[in-house]
Chains A and B, each alone.
Chain A
Amino acid sequence: MIVPVPPAAPAADPAAPPACISLTQLGRGQCATFYKADLRCEDCDMLNAMGMTDRCQLKICKIGDPWIVQVKSTRIGLSKRLAQRIFVLPPSIRP
């Protein structure tokens, strides 16, 4: 189930497909597929190095600042301003 977009949620990335949503729109316990991160290169590289690679599966462990996601065996803490700019494909959509 996709959590409804809250009023304060960031606008969806215009370059992304319509089904692509911000990580912050997912609920706790939901899984999704990482699609893209609208961040500075060095932050993207760091996320990538931590295991958040193209089309990887991630699970939301905690919502709210910080968001905590699990990618494979790695738990990654993300500050709010970073989590808002990570876009995922919700579980119903597979790339």
Chain B
Amino acid sequence: MTRLSPDSARAAVPAAPGAGRRSAAEAPRRIALFGNPNTGKTTLFNRLCGLRAKTANFPGITAEARVGHCAAEARGGASFEIIDLPGVYRLALDVPESRVGRDLMEGSALYQRPHAVLIVVDATNLARNLFLVGELLAHGLPTVVALNMTDLAQRKGLTIDAAQLARHIGCPVVATVARKGTGISEIKQALNREIDHFEAAAAGVAPSVAQSMKAIAADPARLEAWADHAVASSVGGDAAVGAASDTFTERLDKAFTHPILGLLIFAAVMAGLFTVIFQMATIPMDIIERVFGALSEWTAAALPAGAINDLLAQGIIGGVGATVVFLPQICLLFFLISLLEDTGYLARAAFVMDRIMCRFGLPGQAFVPLLSSHACALPGIMSTKLIPDRHDRLATILVAPFMSCSARVPVYVLLTSMLFRDRPWLAGLAFFGCYLLGAGAGLVSALIARRTILRGRSRPMVLELPSYKLPALRTALWATIDRGVVFLKNAGTIILAICIVLWWLSAYPVADPPPEAVALRQEAAQVAPLDEARAGELRAQAEALESSHATRQSYAGRLGRLAQPVFAPLGYDWQLTIGVMTSFAAREVFVSTMAVLLTGDPEADVAEDPGLIDRIRAARRDDGATPVFTPATSASLLVFFVLAMQCLPTLAVTRRETGSWKWAGLQLAYMSGVAWIAALLTFQSLRALGVS
């Protein structure tokens, strides 16, 4: 993640007039890329920079920009560093995206003022787009306007005289079709020409133009009149209100935003989307698991036994592999969302869900992130970028981990089986109840957040409804690669560090084997020459004892014993407490921890070994009589795992998306508190009702 706060911030403000020319070969020229939403700005950026781009974070806010490099058009010409800023309607708006634009243009705060400005305008909606052009021209920097989607404008019967428009607004206008790559080289030439002119003659936008634009931009009525006049003088055809009735768009809008039909269509689209994700992600996920498994085994075999070997094979490779395995789901989700967004459908779907979500203080756009969180909270939280309002976005991020993700499934399987042995329909009902409880807790929590820390109702929804069009595969692919890289960088830094710490806590100190295990190994050695099968069984028993003993003696195990009084009111003994503690890294670890502690089988899998549940059910507490999993304890644990924030990678992603550990800490404290209280109420209520 690049931060747009270089130390040399102010050093690169365009030199004062005549204060020495920059060598074209020395440093790229910084271009700020502005535009209204839905103007094809990012498509143009991708055309200019391709894959030579990375996502950058603005300090202090969640708004992101992509920074890319663009080669020079002619030999000896300067290359460009292009900053793709978030889409804004107006620079004067009081929203983070506009504030970033203003700060960048003024070179204030930590931002570096650009050498020139490239503004993408929608040729089919010129008048409104020119508001932003007028505001940016007032800053007096070399400016080029990319008149995009000119093909679409022609199809609508509009003819735009780019030269006349350029004369009227006072800066070059280049006709482009970003989807087809038309006009790209002309943009580069125009930018170089304008900057050269500015540096040589100190006149990017003529000072008189900048001066008059300052006065015009300060008065909305004058700005509108200026834009209308520019359109009137350069646009032929009639795009006035009511002149062209697009029945295709109107019919689709009617269906997609219909209270019932719209909901059914949305349900079908989402069902299709997640079916595709689950179906298609399985194969690459399996491959990643196998690759990391093989890599871990190879490392373990290649290096001499010891701490370094364990750290590399189990801590680093195992830990990162466990996170990277979600990469296919994340990439597929963003690819499909990007395609959907590009068609123009998502803006309509947001209205359908807004009717339901607004009751809980969330906007309609929150639905997709919350639904994604049922697969995994990581992509869910990352996709909250669809939500424009910061409070709405924060509320969604805070409650997203309440949704029952796939990592909870093994825990649900174990605990519902404990609760309802031989009553599969009841177990199924409880399973479904877990999903309902998680979703309900998330929505109620959102409501609480909007009435306390994120005070206010969700903003009444107002959205521009873009034209329907076929999605651009190239744009979706670039968006996918971008999000995948961001996720991998996260996995390679914060998540890697967390994995190493947790591995160390659960693997150290290395305990001496218990006497029972030593005796079993000796016995195995004695019977081996006579009965190898029996010797194998004895060795397996010894290994199980050693694993269980090592877990108890590890730092995580000791922490579990230390924390046991906290969980005692919930009905958990020290073994369950260790399970809860170790699963703090990832929920599914609870099952393997229980398998190790109670059966001594570290390779156990609930799904593949039905007998495992019986063995765990048969396990007893230290008194030798009370089962570890009583019905009340199992119900309490189930409620705890539905509501608890047992996923460190999610915390890391929350910190990244909110830009602060404060929100991640709040999420952890709130969810843990809610889970503890709900589990306590469950356990104590069941006990009071006579269910032990």
Contacts and interface: CB of A to CB of B under 8 A. Distances in A.
Do these two chains really belong together in a complex? yes
Interface of A: 31, 39, 41-43, 45-51, 53-54, 57-59, 61-62, 64-66, 68, 70-79, 81-82
A42 B351 contact: no
B128 A66 contact: no
Interface string B163-177: 000000000000000
Contact of A82 (B127, B240, B250, B460): B460
A29 to B, nearest CB: 8
Contacts of B463: 76-77
B241 A57 contact: yes
A72 B239 contact: yes
A45 B93 contact: yes
A53 to B, nearest CB: 5
Interface in B94-139: 94-95, 124-128, 131
B52 interface: no
Contacts of A48: 90, 220
B466 to A, nearest CB: 8
Contacts of A50: 89, 128, 462, 464
Interface string B222-240: 0010000000000000011
Nearest to B389: A42
Interface of B: 89-90, 92-95, 124-128, 131, 220-221, 224, 239-242, 249-250, 253-254, 257, 259, 347-348, 351, 354-355, 358, 459-465
Contact of A74 (B94, B125, B242, B348): B125
A51 B125 CA distance: 10
B259 A77 contact: no
Contact of B259 (A43, A46, A65): A65
Contacts of B92: 45
A76 B461 contact: no
Nearest to B461: A79
B253 A43 contact: no
Contacts of B354: 66, 79
Given A45-B93, A61-B250, A62-B253, A53 B220 contact: yes
A72 B241 contact: yes
A66 B131 contact: no
Contact of A68 (B95, B128, B257, B259): B257
Contact of B461 (A58, A73, A77): A77
A73 to B, nearest CB: 4
A45 B94 contact: yes
Contacts of A39: 460
Contact of A75 (B254, B358, B464): B464
Given A76-B462, A79-B461, A66 B254 contact: no
B242 A31 contact: yes
Contacts of B93: 42, 45-46, 49
Contacts of B90: 45, 48-49
Residue in A47, A49, A65, A70 whose Cβ sees the most chain B Cβ within 10 Å? A49
A63 B63 CA distance: 34
Nearest to A73: B125
B241 A31 contact: yes
Contacts of A81: 358, 460
B359 to A, nearest CB: 12
A44 to B, nearest CB: 10
Given A46-B93, A72-B127, A73-B128, A78 B462 contact: yes
Nearest to A86: B462
B462 A62 contact: no
B464 A43 contact: no
Contacts of A47: 462
Contacts of B242: 31, 59, 70
11 contacts: A45-B94, A46-B89, A53-B224, A59-B241, A61-B250, A72-B239, A72-B241, A74-B128, A77-B463, A81-B460, A82-B460
A88 to B, nearest CB: 13
A58 B241 CA distance: 7
Given A53-B224, A68-B257, A77 B131 contact: no
Contacts of A41: 94
Contact of A51 (B128, B250, B348): B128
B241 A70 contact: yes
B460 A49 contact: no
A77 B250 contact: no
B462 A72 contact: no
A72 B125 contact: yes
A53 B128 CA distance: 10
A39 B85 CA distance: 28
Contacts of B221: 53-54
Contacts of B253: 61-62, 68, 75
Contacts of A61: 250, 253
Given A68-B257, A81-B358, 10 more contacts: A46-B95, A47-B462, A48-B90, A53-B220, A53-B224, A54-B220, A57-B240, A59-B241, A62-B254, A66-B351
| 10 tightest Cβ-Cβ pairs between the two chains A and B | A49-B89, A82-B460, A49-B90, A79-B461, A51-B128, A73-B125, A75-B465, A66-B351, A57-B241, A81-B460
Residue from the set A61, A78, A79, A81 with the largest chain B CB neighbour count within 10 Å: A79
A68 to B, nearest CB: 6
B548 to A, nearest CB: 58
Contacts of B249: 75
A30 to B, nearest CB: 10
Given A49-B89, A64-B259, A77-B347, A82 B461 contact: yes
B220 A79 contact: no
A66 B461 CA distance: 9
A79 B464 contact: no
**Residue in B93, B125, B253, B462 with the greatest tally of chain A CB atoms within 10 Å:** B462
A45 B91 CA distance: 11
A39 B201 CA distance: 47
Contacts of A31: 241-242
Contacts of B239: 72-73
Q: Which of A42, A61, A75 counts the most chain B CB atoms within 10 A? A: A75
A54 B347 CA distance: 25
A80 to B, nearest CB: 8
A79 B94 CA distance: 21
Given A45-B93, A45-B94, A66-B257, A77 B462 contact: yes
Contacts of B240: 57, 72
A75 B220 CA distance: 21
B131 A79 contact: no
Nearest to A53: B224
A77 B460 contact: no
B631 to A, nearest CB: 46
Contacts of A65: 257, 259, 351, 355
Nearest to A57: B241
A61 B244 CA distance: 12
